[in-house]
Amino acid sequence: MVKEKIPCAVFISGRGTNLKAIYNYSKNNLSKIDLKLVISNKSNVPGVKFARKNKINTKIINYKNKIKAENKILEYLKKYNIRLICLAGFMKILSKTFIKKFKYNILNIHPSLLPKYKGLNTHERAIQNKDQFSGCTVHIVTEKLDSGKIILQKRVKIFKRDNAESLSRKILILENKLYPKAINKLISSL
């Protein structure tokens, strides 16, 4: 029996490379999601242009007032019957209230091997500490920053010649492959 696809929203703030990976995955016959909505806190970014070009419902949220912004987002999530949120380079931290009100899973992709290097500047920190490996992690969002259950991780070797920019590029390629797999794994476990 074929299960119904789960209505999904992707939250972005920029390039939208993970949005593209999730979109491509959603078009696959084996996909378990229906990408219904893109939320962005920035209007003129490549990710928004991609979403509109591909006729995905796209909402731009003004974050001057975080409470109003999150309430507006919750309205959209209800309107589109969203049951999964994928944070994909969304550069806003969701409030504890928002996380509690949205009763379903929220996934995030983080550019480090959590629990190492929560927060920002992960590539710089990995290089500074002379780590041999870095990578990315897809995890469940909880009220504690970058601390939820890990769904999948993938690592990459850090070479002596690497800098924050080159490491970022390598990890982004990993992210684009890992995120759809993590979504699949999460939904399969529900």
**Cα distance between residue 116 and residue 94, in whole Å:** 21
Per-residue buried b or exposed e for 69-103, using 16+ beta carbons within 10 Å of the residue's own CB: bbeebeebbeebebbbbbbbbbebebeeebbeebe
110 is an active site residue:
yes
Out of 20, 36, 110, 139, pick the active-site residue: 110
Token representation of residue 109: 């992709």
Q: How far is CA 48 from the centre of its chain?
A: 15
State the Cα–Cα distance between residues 88 and 61, nearest whole angstrom. Answer: 15
d(Cα 102, Cα 84) in Å, to the nearest integer?
9
Distances in Å between the Cα of 91 and the Cα atoms of 83, 84, 160, 185 are 21, 18, 29, 25
Instruction: Find out whether 18 and 24 touch, Cβ atoms under 8 Å.
Output: no
Catalytic residues: 110
